[in-house]
Structure 1
Amino acid sequence: ALARYHEGYQALILVFSALLFLAILLPELVLYFLLLSTPLSFRYILPFKAEMQVPSEPLVGILAVIFVMRWLIRLMRSEVDDRSPFPLRYPLLLFIFATFISIIRSPDLYISVKGAIRATAYMMLSFVVYDLIRSENHLKALFLSAVPSAIVAVIWTSIVLIKHIDLWQWRIAYQGSPFTNYSVYGSFLSVFLIISLSRLLFDAGDYDKVGWWVIFAVFACGMLLCFSRGAWLSVIVVITALMMYRSEVSAPRKLLLVLGGIVLIGVAVSAPGVSSALFERLGTFINMRFASNRARLLRWGAAVMMFLRHPLIGNGYGAFALLYKGEPWMIGPLAKYKIGAHSEYFQVLSEMGILGFGAWIWVMVEFYRYGLRKLRLARRSGYAWLILGMMGAEGALLIHFLVNNLIAADKIAVPFWGLYGLLPAVGERLKKEQPA
């Protein structure tokens, strides 16, 4: 309302200038504020017919600008950083390049350029996190910034969903909550659910186990109230993988988790009206007549046809929405409000071609190659659970991306690209702790 009240750019310029000045002085503080505010961010309509998620997107953009400024200053001063360059930079830089080169074929250059800049700002968050998170205190501050606000957002949303339990399976049930739909809510939940579970299973150190069980229970209950099949599937796959990972301290905890899960699911299913809706929803996994499944198949087919037209560099970032916004027969009468390929992989393939898709696969492969290498070192320290948790959380998102394109949402992009930078930041710390 601030910009609309002034009917101009002055208020926005003042706010951005203040945030930029703060980021120059204390970039870590701005990063923590970003993590604190992301679960509670909201859509803000700007006076020049644009919109953004506030305050997350301005903060992401400012942090990206500050990182580039700090990097240029180091180059000009010939400063030697005390840590190696970002280990995952090459696949990420190639993915950024593929994002911009694809706009050559875009049917609307302005929209594609604007979208590519926004997507790049989120990707740059990986560099920012790696550059700023350098110590144990930084990790603790990051936790205290991200987890409490996530808990507040999940409890808030759970209360709203319980009040609208008869509309559980519809997006309208999320009105009045910080989340717009169950897909975004489920993916966001999966990140914190997996990381908290990883600590409970694999951390043999001295920490508040009761508190962490409470944190895990909050996110687990939130996931049970979520109606996203993709989120359920991704969490089940990752938890199964974690249960198969051998650890000296995890066996009794795994048994406790299984028993607790059975009790929790039993209580949830016994609630009036829940069991029938739940089993009906589970049945749609294999029902090809289900409207959502049919829409996905149509969009995936359209994405393949787009790829075949321009296989090398694609049709341009955001082109799927631009090319099919006038085709309600394929993607529904409300498609003009939100159009995607219903799969991040098909979306990248259709919009950025072989170059972008190859870079996207490289981004994922390099993340796990690095994580598995550092896991060997982490077993001798107290960070094994964190390495496993980050790889598991990223894996849950990547599995969900098979059936949804969610990475453009700030509540998903911030944790996804943040974890992509946090894993090598923790890995760098492990390397320094090893004896010479």
Structure 2
Amino acid sequence: MNITVDKLGFWIIIFLTFSANISVAGVNLSVGLLFILLFIHLFQKRIDIKAIYKESKEVINAILIFFAVLVLSIVFSDYYKLGLDYLDKILRYLIIYFSIIHFIKKKDQLNKIFISLSLSILISSLFSIYQYFILNLRRPAGFLSTLTNESVLLMVLSIMVMLIYRTENKARYYYIFVSLISVLSLIVSNTRGAWIALIIGLLFFAFFVDKKMLVALFIISIVIIVLFPSFKARFNSIFDLNNSSNNERILMWRSAFEMWKDRPIFGHGIGSFEKLYPEKYILDIARVKGRMYAHSNIFDLLAETGIFGLISYLYLFFSIIKHGINRLRILKVKEKTIVYGYFLSFMTFFIHGLTFTNIFISHSANIFWVIIALYIVDLRLLKT
């Protein structure tokens, strides 16, 4: 029974990662099935909770603190019913994390997950490119909404870049192909926040892993400017405070800051921005009267979960980085590339989240927790 459940759990995780950039329903179905399998193993006492906690206690502590603060923001909220949906999301993220930690025990399983993720973004990217060049969509989005699609794409693309450097067989050329297609998809998406996140992330990765990569990045930039003249104007608009999109974001951030000032400790509760923004905090010059989020993890967390929410979010990233730095001290030179690859993924998520709320958008958040779990498992398997 144990072997059957383990194998079934692994293949469900494969389906989950394949659905990463393709199907929300696929991810939701996978999480539901994984919950059942985890419950079976808990009932059979097959899950070694102490061992799971011991191998990454600083990361798990940060995760639990972050989720505890989210729950407290709901408890102290005047709109607690709006936040109840987030209890389901918190449970979902925990299921994803502990399922991968528990069911993935071999390197060949991890490699199959990487292939599954690569197929997900390859299919999505090809569809996005088709939307742009054939259907003439200005903001192609693959199978998801544009910003969510790019948030997922950034995280998984970062893993593909890492795989290029850690793979020695012919599969390396496949990961190069997937990465190039994904970058093209990212370019035609016209998502400026994603561009900035990728550029900064790749510069970081190149500095620590391969400085020759800087030359390749420069050449690719020139090619992009030549082939996509509109890219330059779109990129330049990032720095234009009079740009309507930029100005609208600034107005939302100002409103979110005012919300935080009224409830600075635990905020107004998760989900409250959507209700309070049009009713009380929207500025007169704002164009769009209804917003679900403040278009920034930082400002959303301040408004909805208060200063404790923001601190716990930043502490989560600090704990992941601290965990990785501790491993860098004992890893071989080539193995360090793995840590930097995951750092690249987390960095692109964080930077993109400065101008987009990807920590609460279910699909991008789902993959965020997948990547955190893969990071822990990958470093564990380096010892075997």
The bucket for the TM-score relative to the shorter chain is 0.7 to 0.9
- Residue 194 of structure 1 aligns with which residue? 158
CA displacement 1:275-302 (0-9 Å, x = unmatched):
1x22221222221111111111111112
Give the CA deviation at 1:23: 7.1
Q: Is the 8 A contact 2:251 2:283 kept in 1?
A: no
Choose which of 330, 333, 337 in structure 2 pairs with 1:385: 337
For 1:298 and 1:80, locate their aligned partners in 2 and report how far apart those are by CA, in whole Å: 47
| Structure 1 position 180 matched with structure 2 position 150 | no
Aligned pairs for 1:2-401 (under 5 A) are 26-41=8-23, 53-64=24-35, 66-67=37-38, 70-71=41-42, 73-74=44-45, 84=54, 86-87=56-57, 88-165=59-136, 167-168=137-138, 171=139, 173-174=140-141, 177-181=142-146, 183-200=147-164, 202-203=165-166, 205-246=168-209, 250=210, 254=213, 258-259=215-216, 261-271=217-227, 274-275=228-229, 277-326=230-279, 327=282, 329=284, 332-333=287-288, 335=290, 338-379=291-332, 383-401=335-353
Q: Relative to 1, partners in 2 of residues 1:355 and 1:424: Cα closer, same or farther, differing over 3 Å? A: same
For 1:78 and 1:231, locate their aligned partners in 2 and report how far apart those are by CA, in whole Å: 39
CA displacement 1:211-260 (0-9 Å, x = unmatched):
232122111222221211110111111111111115xxx455x26xx34x
SS at match of 2:264: coil
Give the CA deviation at 1:130: 1.6
Q: Which amino acid aligns with 1:222?
A: S
For 1:264 and 1:82, locate their aligned partners in 2 and report how far apart those are by CA, in whole Å: 42
CA displacement 1:314-363 (0-9 Å, x = unmatched):
1111111121144484654362xx52111111111211112222211111
For 2:261 and 2:22, locate their aligned partners in 1 and report how far apart those are by CA, in whole Å: 40
Q: Which runs of 5+ in 2 are unaligned?
A: none
For 1:139 and 1:420, locate their aligned partners in 2 and report how far apart those are by CA, in whole Å: 13
For 2:16 and 2:286, locate their aligned partners in 1 and report how far apart those are by CA, in whole Å: 34
Q: Is the 8 A contact 1:157 1:179 kept in 2?
A: no
Q: Which amino acid aligns with 1:132?
A: F
For 1:106 and 1:281, locate their aligned partners in 2 and report how far apart those are by CA, in whole Å: 40
Q: Is the 8 A contact 2:224 2:231 kept in 1?
A: no
How many equivalent residue pairs?
378
For 2:176 and 2:6, locate their aligned partners in 1 and report how far apart those are by CA, in whole Å: 38
Q: Is the 8 A contact 1:23 1:62 kept in 2?
A: no
Q: Is the 8 A contact 1:103 1:112 kept in 2?
A: yes
Q: Is the 8 A contact 1:307 1:350 kept in 2?
A: yes
SS at match of 1:55: helix
Q: Relative to 1, partners in 2 of residues 1:387 and 1:24: Cα closer, same or farther, differing over 3 Å? A: closer
Q: Is the 8 A contact 1:91 1:366 kept in 2?
A: yes
Say what the alpha-carbon RMSD is for the aligned residues: 2.8
Q: Is the 8 A contact 2:118 2:175 kept in 1?
A: no
Give % identity: 19
For 2:21 and 2:62, locate their aligned partners in 1 and report how far apart those are by CA, in whole Å: 28
Q: Is the 8 A contact 1:158 1:222 kept in 2?
A: yes
Say which one has the larger Rg: 1
For 1:403 and 1:339, locate their aligned partners in 2 and report how far apart those are by CA, in whole Å: 14
CA displacement 1:153-191 (0-9 Å, x = unmatched):
1101111111244x52xx5x54xx31222x223222222
Q: Is the 8 A contact 2:53 2:60 kept in 1?
A: no
Choose which of 357, 361, 377 in structure 2 pairs with 1:425: 377
For 2:218 and 2:324, locate their aligned partners in 1 and report how far apart those are by CA, in whole Å: 31
- Residue 11 of structure 1 aligns with which residue? none
Q: Is the 8 A contact 2:89 2:362 kept in 1?
A: no
Q: Which amino acid aligns with 2:326?
A: R
For 2:185 and 2:233, locate their aligned partners in 1 and report how far apart those are by CA, in whole Å: 19
Q: Which amino acid aligns with 1:40?
A: I
Q: Is the 8 A contact 1:300 1:341 kept in 2?
A: yes
SS at match of 1:139: helix
Give the CA deviation at 1:78: 8.5
Q: Which runs of 5+ in 1 are unaligned?
A: 1-21, 42-52
Choose which of 342, 346, 360 in structure 2 pairs with 1:408: 360
Q: Is the 8 A contact 2:20 2:152 kept in 1?
A: no
Q: Which amino acid aligns with 2:340?
A: L
Q: Is the 8 A contact 1:151 1:215 kept in 2?
A: yes
TM-score after normalising by structure 1 = 0.78
Q: Relative to 1, partners in 2 of residues 1:146 and 1:331: Cα closer, same or farther, differing over 3 Å? A: farther
Give the CA deviation at 1:69: 5.3
Q: Relative to 1, partners in 2 of residues 1:428 and 1:262: Cα closer, same or farther, differing over 3 Å? A: closer
Which sits farther off after the overlay, 393-402 or 353-362? 353-362
For 2:301 and 2:52, locate their aligned partners in 1 and report how far apart those are by CA, in whole Å: 36
For 1:146 and 1:318, locate their aligned partners in 2 and report how far apart those are by CA, in whole Å: 30
